[in-house]
């Protein structure tokens, strides 16, 4: 009897010692096993490499606390889970959750002013109640600090408006990329330089103010007038050509060509046809002409051609027009303003909301000498029509809408990503003037680029913001004045820039997808009784059955 007692004590002490040792080891060695189908708790390899390179602490302040909608609480939980995952790969990650609006009205106003200076703004949500609606103000930002530098991160993928389950899920999908991208920018300490091309009737400062404000926290923004320089500096990481309306002379095209050959990235936002709503309102009929840009030869050589036509799509936004002499107004579908809902899995447009375009043309892909990968990012629906130049435009199309059987031209590309090796348009055609220019800047002519990227969009207005007439301030990019909805124009352009400048391959994290598994409410209602019985009575039955079996076994044992 004494021997059995000593044996039991010995077993207990050994078990206790093993548990203590495992706990001590667990405090030094942290690991997780992601058994989820969509690998929602896994960190991509480029992010792991980034975290391992941290030399000092990255402090993350999460402004996501207080009274929050249910979906935003899920976003808060996912943010904490992600940063805990980051900490498993680097002890240099430290975070805290803070509610900036948890004090007195004076303290809250001071906090809003302080955060606003850092481009951190609250989300204003109207919550419907039984008796009255109330305003719910909360932040959805994180602020990252490293070596005295700061960068804000908007944790919500959608700007303004209500946040649906889809919006929250899309935001969760992007969390790893947003944090990894911010940490990478803090590590390098140098903001990439982005310049808007000037000198050819491009959009003015006010028309691009919204987009430039969105870029300020992550990039250095400037302008490049090709008339006042002999070449585009290599210090410029990316050029944006935003809706030019005048001709590009050969010397400007040569500058752009050699900039691309030397690794420079370009986003071409080009209108092929000179037409807008204002011109239609001023005259009963308009015949738009081609803008005399003279850029077709460059784009053709790089693998793209914008056709002299206009795309009409049944999936479009509306415009508001007067319908009688009294000024009564009504809304009509305006097929020349298509809403492009990306269907591609490419990380630039994956899970992206609709992009609103204005009088876009179609883009063809062209076979090139060297290999260039051509990826359509923005494509129309199947229900389309094409009007080719010369075009007679008027509002009569609203009175005589073509039958649905005629909307059958299929999908067309309006946004094209080009990746690969680009050949110079001027290979074998370098003039003495061009040679002299290159000699002055001590730069040899380059006939072929290394791996490079560019984006071509057949609508310059994709980057144009409206102006609030009351205070002359820019409205959010993508805001449609007639629907009151903000489309994803800004996110599309920012994603494109991030992808094109992504040397660390962090954009792979943007391809992650956490699936939103919705409850089948119809099936749940129909089978409610069955599942109630299964979850309440079956456990009780199993408990009773276990008691009976246990009692019978015990009696049989002691009867022996």
Which of 340, 355, 395 is CA-nearest to residue 480?
355
CA separation, residue 193 to residues 215, 223, 225, 443 (Å): 10, 10, 15, 21
At 160-184, the pLDDT tens digits run: 555 677 778 778 888 888 888 888 8
In a domain, 199, yes or no: yes
Q: Which of 144-148, 171-175, 263-267 is predicted most confidently? A: 263-267
For residues 405 and 1, the model is more confident at 405
221/521: higher pLDDT: 221
- Residue 311's pLDDT band (cuts 50, 70, 90): very high
**Is 517 inside a domain boundary?**
no
Residue 511 falls inside a structural domain: no
Torsion, Cα 196 199 203 208, to 10 degrees, reads 30
- Tokens in use for 298? 């460059």
**256 and 154 fall within a common domain:** no
Distance CA 225, CA 242 (A): 13
Looking at the fold, whether 73 and 160 belong to one and the same domain comes out as yes
| Residue 335 shares a structural domain with residue 481 | yes
Task: List helix spans (H) across 53-126.
Answer: 70-89, 105-116
Residue 35 has what pLDDT?
47
On whether residue 520 sits in a domain, the answer given is no
**Is the preceding omega at residue 6 within 30 degrees of 0, hence cis?**
no
pLDDT tens string 456-492: 999 999 999 999 988 889 999 999 998 889 999 999 9
Asked if pLDDT for residue 340 goes beyond 50, the answer is yes
Give tens-digit pLDDT for 14-51.
887 887 877 776 655 555 555 455 455 578 888 888 88
Task: Give the angle subtended at the CA of 78 by the CAs of 77 and 84, to the nearest 5°.
Answer: 90
Within this chain, do residues 272 and 142 fall inside the same structural domain, yes or no?
no
Confidence of residue 101 (pLDDT cuts 50, 70, 90): confident
Bigger pLDDT: 455 vs 435: 455
Residue 393 and residue 285 in contact, taking contact as beta carbons nearer than 8 Å: yes
Please give the pLDDT value at position 20: 82
pLDDT mean over 205-213: 94
Residue 509 lies in a domain: no
- 215 and 88 in a common domain: no
* pLDDT value, residue 260: 96
Instruction: Indicate if 474 and 349 belong to the same structural domain.
Output: yes
What's the CA gap between 9 and 5, in Å, rounded?
Answer: 6
Longest dimension (CA), the chain: 113
255 and 298 together in one domain: yes
- Of 147, 165, 184, which residue sits at a domain end? 184
End-to-end CA distance of the chain: 21
Number of domains in the chain: 4
CATH number of the domain that 73 lies in?
3.40.30
Q: Select from 131, 161, 184 the last residue of a domain.
A: 184
pLDDT at residue 133, rounded to an integer: 61
Q: Do 248 and 125 share a structural domain? A: no
For residue 424, is it within any domain?
Answer: yes
**SS3 state at 7:** helix
Q: Give residue 129's pLDDT.
A: 53
Geometric angle at alpha carbon 126, from 125 and 127, rounded to 5°: 110
Q: Tell me the pLDDT band of 257, cut-offs 50, 70 and 90.
A: very high
Reply yes or no on whether the pLDDT at 80 is more than 70. yes
- pTM for this predicted structure: 0.77
Highest average pLDDT, of 82-96, 218-232, 244-258, comes from: 244-258
Task: List the structure tokens of 510.
Answer: 């943007």
Are residue 115 and residue 239 in the same domain, yes or no? Answer: no
Take residue 286 and report the two structure tokens written for it. Answer: 């308009």
User: Which domain does 485 fall in, by range?
Assistant: 191-503
Same domain for 175 and 196: no
pLDDT band at 246 (very low <50, low <70, confident <90, very high): very high
Q: Are residues 306 and 356 in the same domain?
A: yes
Which of 120, 155, 184 delimits the end of a domain? Answer: 184
**What DSSP string describes 498-539?**
HHHT-TT-GGGGGG---------HHHHHHTHHHHHHHHHHHH
Decide if 512 is inside a domain: no
Mean pLDDT score of the chain, rounded to an integer? 85
Least confident of 69-73, 310-314, 510-514: 510-514
3-state secondary structure of 215: helix
Q: What is the pLDDT of residue 523?
A: 63
Q: Where are the alpha helices (DSSP H) in 199-249?
A: 209-215
Is the domain of 255 the same as that of 387? yes
């Amino acid at each position: 009897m004494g021997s059995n007692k000593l044996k039991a004590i010995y077993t207990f002490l050994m078990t206790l010692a093993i548990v203590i040792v495992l706990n001590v080891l667990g405090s030094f060695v942290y690991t997780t096993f992601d058994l989820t189908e969509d690998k929602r708790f896994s960190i991509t390899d480029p992010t792991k490499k980034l975290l391992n390179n941290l030399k000092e602490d990255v402090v993350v302040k999460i402004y996501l606390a207080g009274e929050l909608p249910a979906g935003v609480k899920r976003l808060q939980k996912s943010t904490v889970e992600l940063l805990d995952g980051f900490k498993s790969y680097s002890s240099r990650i430290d975070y805290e959750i803070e509610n900036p609006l948890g004090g007195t009205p004076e303290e809250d106003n001071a906090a809003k002013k302080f955060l606003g200076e850092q481009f951190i703004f609250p989300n204003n949500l109207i919550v419907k109640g039984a008796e009255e609606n109330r305003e719910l103000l909360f932040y959805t930002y994180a602020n990252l600090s490293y070596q005295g530098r700061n960068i804000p991160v908007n944790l919500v993928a959608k700007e303004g408006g209500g946040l649906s389950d889809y919006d929250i899920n899309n935001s969760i999908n992007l969390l790893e990329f947003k944090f990894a991208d911010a940490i990478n920018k803090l590590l390098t300490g140098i903001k990439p330089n982005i310049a808007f091309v000037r000198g050819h009737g491009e959009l003015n400062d006010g028309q691009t103010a919204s987009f430039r404000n969105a870029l300020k926290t992550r990039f250095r923004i400037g302008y490049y007038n090709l008339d006042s320089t002999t070449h585009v500096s290599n210090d410029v990481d990316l050029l944006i050509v935003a809706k030019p309306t005048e001709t590009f002379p050969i010397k400007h095209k040569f500058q752009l060509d050699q900039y691309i050959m030397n690794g420079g990235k370009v986003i071409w936002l080009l209108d092929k046809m000179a037409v807008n709503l204002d011109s239609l309102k001023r005259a009963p009929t308009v015949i738009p002409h081609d803008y005399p840009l003279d850029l077709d030869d460059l784009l053709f050589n790089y693998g793209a051609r914008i056709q002299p036509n206009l795309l009409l799509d049944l999936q479009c936004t509306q415009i508001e027009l007067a319908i009688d002499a009294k000024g009564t107004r009504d809304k009509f579908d305006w097929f020349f303003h298509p809403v492009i809902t990306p269907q591609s899995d490419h990380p630039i447009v994956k899970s992206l909301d609709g992009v609103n375009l204005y009088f876009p043309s179609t883009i063809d892909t062209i076979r090139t000498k060297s290999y260039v990968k051509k990826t359509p990012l923005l494509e129309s629906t199947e229900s389309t029509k094409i009007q080719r130049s010369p075009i007679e435009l008027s509002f009569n199309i609203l009175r005589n809408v073509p039958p649905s059987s005629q909307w059958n031209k299929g999908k067309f590309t309006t946004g094209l990503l080009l990746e690969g090796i680009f050949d110079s348009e001027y290979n074998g055609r370098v003039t003495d003037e061009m040679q002299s220019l290159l000699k002055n800047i001590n730069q040899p002519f380059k006939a072929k680029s290394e791996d490079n990227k560019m984006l071509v969009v057949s609508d310059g207005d994709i980057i144009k913001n409206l102006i609030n007439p009351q205070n002359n301030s820019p409205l959010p990019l993508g805001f449609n004045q007639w629907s009151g909805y903000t489309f994803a124009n800004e996110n599309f352009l920012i994603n494109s820039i991030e992808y094109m400048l992504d040397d660390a391959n962090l954009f792979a994290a943007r391809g992650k997808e956490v699936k939103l598994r919705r409850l089948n409410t119809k099936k749940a209602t129909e089978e409610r009784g069955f599942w109630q019985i299964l979850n309440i009575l079956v456990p009780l039955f199993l408990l009773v059955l276990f008691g009976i079996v246990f009692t019978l076994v015990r009696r049989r044992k002691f009867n022996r």
